[in-house]
Amino acid sequence: MKRREFLKNAALGTAAAGTATAIKAPSVFAKRSYRWRMVTAWPPHFPVLGEGADLLAKWVDQMSGGRLKIHVYGGGELVPPLGIFDAVRHGSAEMGHGAAYYWAGKSPATQFFAAVPFGMNAQQMNAWIYYGNGQKLWDEVYAPFGLQSMPAGNTGVQMGGWFNKEINSAADYKGLKMRIPGLGGKVIAKAGATAILAPGGEIYTDLERGVIDATEWVGPYHDYLMGFYKVAKFYYYPGWHEPGTVLEMFVNKKKFAALPKDLQEIVKTAAARSNVWMLSKFEAVNNSYLKLLISKYHVKLRKFPDSLLKQLKIYSKEVLLDITSKDKMSKKVYDDYSKFQKNAMQWAKVSEIALYNAENL
């Protein structure tokens, strides 16, 4: 009888243990950890841009309780700065941080998700991507490459660039070698300039050695940190070519789909937070550094003449027509972009623009 009682209790204990294991199994699965690599187009820990990538990784770690840790590699540490698209596409890294116009050679339509000359500003781009068809179209453009992208920063309205001579008309662009990416580069090519695509870490040296005659980058704060005032004195505005440049965080779709749903949402949330953080920092510090560049380093601030801006706008329309007439995806994206921009600008005329004009009375 004692033996039967022992076996009975043993059987109950085994069943209970099995039940406990079954109950705890999802908890064990939920605590699975992941180690990802993020490759960036910026030098390691690059102010604001690379810093934004570092913070994004930090926020993901904190929100996930350490379940998803992301090691951030600066441009050149794991792959070249402009090689990150292919690295993530082929699975050498799980995610990347850059700007969509760098991948125009992969698909011309990518450029519309970074900046369009005389296009939408930062808040209008956010509106199009988050609440319009922007994200849906972005997903469609990146799908053939097995990638998914999302906003992870914005420069706001950029400056027009640094030049080693004054720019008074379109004729002054003839023969000029300028570092400028995306659609803006195609526009100045219409004026006879040569557009050169170079990663951020190479620009200062190229300008100093005369490889290029001019460059655009971001705005006063970042341009000061880059030291451009040491090798060029003419600083032009406005940044007609990049009125609200989106920085992106993109992921390998297969790797992303393999994450638990909560970690997917954490990554998306960290990217959105980075988007707000980066724009906020630029807006907060740009004017102070513009004053510093002028007062201490005697930079010559110049506004592009209206006649030149009108001509550049004509060239911009020609460039956009040329691209959209040759590439169906570009036409699909730009048709939606321009429709949204028209609607946004009608509102801006009675809101933002009207307010700015009233403040200057």
Sequence-ordered strand ranges (E) for the chain: 34-40, 68-73, 95-98, 147-154, 161-163, 177-179, 194-196, 214-215, 234-237, 246-252, 300-303
Whether 185 and 251 share a structural domain: no
Model confidence pLDDT, tens digit, residues 212-261: 999 999 999 999 999 999 999 999 999 999 999 999 999 999 999 999 99
Whether 227 and 141 share a structural domain: no
- In this structure, are residues 71 and 82 in contact, taking their beta carbons and an 8 Å threshold? no
Model confidence pLDDT, tens digit, residues 264-297: 999 999 999 999 999 999 999 999 999 999 999 9
Give the side-chain half-sphere CA count within 13 A for 305.
10
Q: With helix as H, strand as E and coil as C, how does 75-120 read? A: CCCCCCHHHHHHHHHCCCCCEEEECHHHHCCCCHHHHHHCCCCCCC
Whether 195 and 218 share a structural domain: yes
Burial class (CB in 10 A: 0-12, 13-18, 19+), 20: exposed
CA distance to 66, 251, 305, per residue, from 36 (Å) = 12, 10, 48
Task: Give the helix, strand, coil percentages of the chain, each rounded to 5.
Answer: 60, 15, 30
Between 3-12, 154-163, 314-323, 330-339, the lowest mean confidence (pLDDT) is in 3-12
Whether 232 and 303 share a structural domain: yes
31 versus 77: the higher-pLDDT residue is 77
The pLDDT value recorded for residue 23 is 44
Total number of domains in the chain? 2
Q: What is the pTM of this model?
A: 0.89
Burial class (CB in 10 A: 0-12, 13-18, 19+), 133: middle
Whether 317 and 218 share a structural domain: yes
For residue 13, is it within any domain?
Answer: no
The pLDDT value recorded for residue 165 is 95
Whether 312 and 328 share a structural domain: yes
Whether 123 and 271 share a structural domain: yes
Residue 48, domain extent: 33-154+244-283
For residue 12, is it within any domain?
Answer: no
Do the bridges between strand 34-40 and strand 95-98 make them parallel or antiparallel, or are there none, so unpaired?
A: parallel
Nearest to 252 by CA among 88, 69, 53, 73: 88
User: pLDDT tier at 3 (50, 70, 90 boundaries)?
Assistant: very low
For residue 290, is it within any domain?
Answer: no
- In this structure, are residues 52 and 41 in contact, taking their beta carbons and an 8 Å threshold? no
Q: What is the mean predicted confidence (pLDDT) over 148-161? A: 97
Whether 273 and 301 share a structural domain: no
Model confidence pLDDT, tens digit, residues 90-110: 999 999 999 999 999 999 999
The residue to which tokens 């036409």 are assigned: 331
Residues in the chain: 361
Domain CATH number, residue 310:
3.40.190.10
For residue 96, is it within any domain?
Answer: yes
Whether 62 and 40 share a structural domain: yes
Whether 233 and 87 share a structural domain: no
Gap between the Cα atoms of 248 and 258, Å rounded:
21
CA 241 to chain centre: 15
Look at residue 317 and tell me whether its pLDDT is greater than 60. Answer: yes
For residue 332, is it within any domain?
Answer: yes
Whether 63 and 189 share a structural domain: no
For residue 56, is it within any domain?
Answer: yes
Dihedral sign for Cα 341, 347, 352, 358, please: positive
For residue 3, is it within any domain?
Answer: no
CA distance to 13, 17, 20, per residue, from 23 (Å) = 15, 10, 5
Phi, psi of 148, rounded to the nearest 5 degrees: -130, 130
Angle at CA of residue 329, ends 81 and 321, nearest 5° = 95
